Amino acid sequence: MRWYDDGFMAVDSVFDVGVQTARAIGQLKRGVPPLEAGAGGEYANGNGSLMRVLPLALWHQGSDADLVRDAQHQSRVTHAHLRAQLCCALYGLWARGILQDRAQPFDWAVATLRALYGEATPERAELDFFIRPDDAHQCRGRGYVVEALFSARQACEQDGFEAAVKFAVALGQDTDTTACLAGGIAGLQVGLKGIPVRWREGLLGTGLYQPLLTQLLARR
Protein backbone atom coordinates (compact mmCIF):
# COMPACT_ATOMS: atom_id res chain seq x y z
CA MET A 1 0.00 0.00 0.00
CA ARG A 2 2.88 2.36 0.73
CA TRP A 3 4.33 1.63 -2.69
CA TYR A 4 0.96 2.19 -4.38
CA ASP A 5 0.13 5.42 -2.52
CA ASP A 6 3.52 6.97 -1.81
CA GLY A 7 6.00 5.32 -4.17
CA PHE A 8 7.81 3.53 -1.33
CA MET A 9 10.68 1.47 -2.81
CA ALA A 10 9.73 2.54 -6.33
CA VAL A 11 12.74 3.21 -8.54
CA ASP A 12 11.17 6.22 -10.19
CA SER A 13 7.39 6.27 -9.91
CA VAL A 14 4.54 3.80 -9.61
CA PHE A 15 3.30 2.72 -13.04
CA ASP A 16 1.66 -0.21 -14.79
CA VAL A 17 -0.15 -1.61 -11.76
CA GLY A 18 -1.87 -4.87 -12.70
CA VAL A 19 -5.65 -5.04 -12.38
CA GLN A 20 -5.58 -7.86 -9.85
CA THR A 21 -2.88 -6.20 -7.77
CA ALA A 22 -4.74 -2.88 -7.73
CA ARG A 23 -7.92 -4.62 -6.61
CA ALA A 24 -6.08 -6.52 -3.90
CA ILE A 25 -4.51 -3.32 -2.58
CA GLY A 26 -8.02 -1.86 -2.42
CA GLN A 27 -9.07 -4.86 -0.37
CA LEU A 28 -6.13 -4.41 1.98
CA LYS A 29 -7.03 -0.76 2.48
CA ARG A 30 -10.51 -1.87 3.51
CA GLY A 31 -9.01 -4.08 6.20
CA VAL A 32 -9.26 -7.44 4.45
CA PRO A 33 -6.59 -9.85 5.83
CA PRO A 34 -3.69 -10.28 3.37
CA LEU A 35 -4.28 -13.98 2.72
CA GLU A 36 -7.87 -13.18 1.79
CA ALA A 37 -7.21 -10.08 -0.33
CA GLY A 38 -6.40 -11.71 -3.68
CA ALA A 39 -9.04 -12.67 -6.21
CA GLY A 40 -9.50 -16.41 -6.61
CA GLY A 41 -11.70 -16.82 -9.67
CA GLU A 42 -10.81 -18.78 -12.80
CA TYR A 43 -10.08 -15.54 -14.66
CA ALA A 44 -7.87 -14.24 -11.86
CA ASN A 45 -4.79 -16.05 -13.12
CA GLY A 46 -2.49 -13.25 -14.12
CA ASN A 47 1.26 -13.43 -13.59
CA GLY A 48 1.71 -10.66 -11.01
CA SER A 49 2.51 -12.90 -8.05
CA LEU A 50 4.74 -15.13 -10.17
CA MET A 51 7.02 -12.27 -11.19
CA ARG A 52 7.77 -11.33 -7.57
CA VAL A 53 8.38 -14.78 -6.02
CA LEU A 54 12.09 -15.24 -6.84
CA PRO A 55 13.46 -13.26 -3.86
CA LEU A 56 11.51 -15.58 -1.56
CA ALA A 57 13.24 -18.60 -3.06
CA LEU A 58 16.66 -16.95 -2.72
CA TRP A 59 16.02 -16.00 0.90
CA HIS A 60 14.31 -19.20 2.02
CA GLN A 61 16.22 -21.75 4.13
CA GLY A 62 13.34 -23.99 5.15
CA SER A 63 12.25 -27.33 3.74
CA ASP A 64 10.85 -27.77 0.26
CA ALA A 65 7.37 -28.03 1.79
CA ASP A 66 7.91 -24.77 3.66
CA LEU A 67 9.06 -23.02 0.50
CA VAL A 68 5.99 -24.27 -1.39
CA ARG A 69 3.68 -23.11 1.38
CA ASP A 70 5.25 -19.66 1.57
CA ALA A 71 5.31 -19.25 -2.21
CA GLN A 72 1.59 -20.00 -2.28
CA HIS A 73 0.91 -17.61 0.59
CA GLN A 74 2.73 -14.73 -1.09
CA SER A 75 0.61 -15.35 -4.18
CA ARG A 76 -2.67 -15.30 -2.25
CA VAL A 77 -2.19 -11.67 -1.28
CA THR A 78 -3.00 -10.64 -4.85
CA HIS A 79 -3.55 -13.82 -6.92
CA ALA A 80 -5.41 -16.41 -4.88
CA HIS A 81 -6.41 -18.96 -7.51
CA LEU A 82 -4.72 -22.29 -6.85
CA ARG A 83 -3.20 -22.29 -10.33
CA ALA A 84 -1.34 -19.05 -9.70
CA GLN A 85 -0.24 -20.32 -6.29
CA LEU A 86 1.19 -23.52 -7.75
CA CYS A 87 2.99 -21.72 -10.55
CA CYS A 88 4.71 -19.63 -7.88
CA ALA A 89 5.60 -22.77 -5.95
CA LEU A 90 6.96 -24.46 -9.07
CA TYR A 91 9.06 -21.44 -10.02
CA GLY A 92 10.43 -21.22 -6.47
CA LEU A 93 11.41 -24.88 -6.49
CA TRP A 94 12.94 -24.47 -9.95
CA ALA A 95 15.15 -21.71 -8.57
CA ARG A 96 16.06 -23.85 -5.57
CA GLY A 97 16.96 -26.74 -7.85
CA ILE A 98 19.42 -24.51 -9.70
CA LEU A 99 20.93 -23.26 -6.44
CA GLN A 100 21.35 -26.87 -5.32
CA ASP A 101 23.01 -27.84 -8.63
CA ARG A 102 20.31 -30.37 -9.55
CA ALA A 103 20.96 -32.01 -12.91
CA GLN A 104 17.46 -31.18 -14.22
CA PRO A 105 16.19 -28.46 -11.87
CA PHE A 106 12.82 -27.91 -13.53
CA ASP A 107 12.04 -31.63 -13.66
CA TRP A 108 13.15 -31.93 -10.04
CA ALA A 109 10.83 -29.08 -9.11
CA VAL A 110 7.88 -30.79 -10.79
CA ALA A 111 8.63 -34.12 -9.09
CA THR A 112 9.00 -32.42 -5.72
CA LEU A 113 5.72 -30.58 -6.06
CA ARG A 114 3.92 -33.76 -7.12
CA ALA A 115 5.37 -35.63 -4.16
CA LEU A 116 4.07 -33.01 -1.75
CA TYR A 117 0.50 -33.33 -3.04
CA GLY A 118 -1.23 -36.68 -3.40
CA GLU A 119 -3.01 -37.76 -6.56
CA ALA A 120 -6.50 -37.10 -5.19
CA THR A 121 -5.82 -33.50 -4.16
CA PRO A 122 -7.01 -30.31 -5.90
CA GLU A 123 -3.36 -29.27 -6.17
CA ARG A 124 -2.44 -32.32 -8.25
CA ALA A 125 -5.48 -31.80 -10.46
CA GLU A 126 -4.41 -28.21 -11.15
CA LEU A 127 -0.82 -29.24 -11.75
CA ASP A 128 -1.51 -32.17 -14.05
CA PHE A 129 -4.56 -30.95 -15.96
CA PHE A 130 -4.10 -27.17 -16.19
CA ILE A 131 -0.43 -26.35 -15.66
CA ARG A 132 0.66 -29.58 -17.42
CA PRO A 133 4.43 -29.31 -16.81
CA ASP A 134 5.18 -32.37 -18.96
CA ASP A 135 3.62 -30.92 -22.12
CA ALA A 136 5.11 -28.77 -24.85
CA HIS A 137 3.44 -25.41 -24.40
CA GLN A 138 2.78 -22.87 -27.13
CA CYS A 139 4.46 -19.77 -25.71
CA ARG A 140 3.57 -16.26 -26.82
CA GLY A 141 4.57 -14.29 -23.76
CA ARG A 142 1.04 -13.48 -22.62
CA GLY A 143 0.02 -12.52 -19.09
CA TYR A 144 -1.71 -15.80 -18.21
CA VAL A 145 0.30 -17.26 -15.34
CA VAL A 146 0.85 -20.68 -16.94
CA GLU A 147 1.96 -19.22 -20.25
CA ALA A 148 4.24 -16.76 -18.46
CA LEU A 149 5.95 -19.61 -16.63
CA PHE A 150 6.56 -21.67 -19.75
CA SER A 151 7.52 -18.66 -21.85
CA ALA A 152 10.28 -18.07 -19.30
CA ARG A 153 11.29 -21.72 -19.41
CA GLN A 154 11.57 -21.60 -23.19
CA ALA A 155 13.62 -18.41 -23.00
CA CYS A 156 16.00 -20.01 -20.52
CA GLU A 157 16.80 -22.74 -23.02
CA GLN A 158 18.72 -20.12 -25.04
CA ASP A 159 22.49 -19.80 -24.77
CA GLY A 160 23.35 -17.31 -22.05
CA PHE A 161 21.68 -14.58 -20.04
CA GLU A 162 21.47 -11.94 -22.73
CA ALA A 163 20.02 -14.37 -25.27
CA ALA A 164 17.43 -15.58 -22.75
CA VAL A 165 16.20 -12.09 -21.89
CA LYS A 166 16.14 -10.94 -25.51
CA PHE A 167 14.20 -14.07 -26.47
CA ALA A 168 11.69 -13.34 -23.71
CA VAL A 169 11.18 -9.77 -24.91
CA ALA A 170 10.92 -10.88 -28.54
CA LEU A 171 7.92 -13.05 -27.67
CA GLY A 172 5.96 -9.81 -27.32
CA GLN A 173 2.81 -9.35 -25.24
CA ASP A 174 3.71 -9.02 -21.52
CA THR A 175 7.39 -8.44 -22.20
CA ASP A 176 8.45 -6.99 -18.84
CA THR A 177 7.10 -9.89 -16.83
CA THR A 178 8.38 -12.58 -19.19
CA ALA A 179 11.84 -11.00 -19.17
CA CYS A 180 11.72 -10.72 -15.37
CA LEU A 181 10.90 -14.41 -14.99
CA ALA A 182 13.45 -15.52 -17.57
CA GLY A 183 16.14 -13.18 -16.29
CA GLY A 184 15.78 -14.45 -12.74
CA ILE A 185 16.30 -18.06 -13.72
CA ALA A 186 18.95 -17.31 -16.35
CA GLY A 187 20.85 -15.24 -13.79
CA LEU A 188 20.95 -18.22 -11.44
CA GLN A 189 22.11 -20.44 -14.28
CA VAL A 190 25.05 -18.28 -15.34
CA GLY A 191 25.96 -16.43 -12.15
CA LEU A 192 26.84 -12.76 -11.77
CA LYS A 193 29.74 -12.90 -14.23
CA GLY A 194 27.44 -14.26 -16.91
CA ILE A 195 25.29 -11.11 -16.87
CA PRO A 196 26.67 -8.42 -19.20
CA VAL A 197 28.53 -5.72 -17.29
CA ARG A 198 26.85 -2.97 -19.32
CA TRP A 199 23.46 -4.25 -18.17
CA ARG A 200 24.46 -4.36 -14.50
CA GLU A 201 26.05 -0.92 -14.58
CA GLY A 202 23.00 0.54 -16.29
CA LEU A 203 20.56 -0.51 -13.58
CA LEU A 204 18.54 2.23 -11.92
CA GLY A 205 17.72 2.29 -8.21
CA THR A 206 21.10 1.12 -6.89
CA GLY A 207 20.50 2.90 -3.60
CA LEU A 208 17.29 0.92 -3.12
CA TYR A 209 18.39 -2.59 -4.00
CA GLN A 210 22.03 -2.65 -2.87
CA PRO A 211 21.34 -2.68 0.91
CA LEU A 212 18.73 -5.41 0.40
CA LEU A 213 21.14 -7.40 -1.77
CA THR A 214 23.85 -7.11 0.89
CA GLN A 215 21.47 -8.46 3.54
CA LEU A 216 20.35 -11.30 1.27
CA LEU A 217 23.91 -12.38 0.47
CA ALA A 218 24.82 -12.29 4.17
CA ARG A 219 21.91 -14.64 4.88
CA ARG A 220 23.05 -17.11 2.19
**Each residue's pLDDT tens digit, 142-192:** 999 999 999 999 999 999 999 999 999 999 999 999 999 999 999 999 999
Burial of 169 (0-12, 13-18, 19+ CB in 10 A): middle
What pLDDT shows up at residue 115? Answer: 97
Residue 44's domain spans which residues?
2-131+138-219
Work out the number of other CB atoms within 10 angstroms of the CB of residue 15: 6
- The pLDDT assigned to 16 comes to 82
Strand partners, 39: 79
Range 161-167 contact pairs with CB under 8 angstroms and sequence separation of 24 or more: 161/186, 161/187, 161/189, 161/190, 161/194, 161/195, 161/196, 162/196, 162/199
Instruction: State residue 217's pLDDT score.
Output: 87
Q: How many domains does the chain have?
A: 1
Cα-Cα end-to-end distance for the chain: 29
The percentage of the chain sitting over the pLDDT mark of 90, rounded to a whole number, equals 94
> Would you say residue 120 has pLDDT above 90?
yes
Report the CATH number that the domain containing residue 173 is assigned in CATH. 1.10.4080.10
Q: Helix, strand, coil: what percent of the chain each, to 5?
A: 65, 0, 35
For residue 43, count CB atoms less than 10 angstroms from its CB and return exposed for 0-12, middle for 13-18, buried for 19 or more: exposed
Long-range pairs, 198-205, Cβ under 8 A, ≥24: 199/162, 204/11, 204/12, 205/11, 205/12
Q: Which residues contact 27 (CB under 8 A, 6 or more apart)?
A: 36, 37, 38
In whole angstroms, what is the distance from residue 56 CA to residue 67 CA? 8
pLDDT range class, residue 123, cuts 50, 70, 90: very high
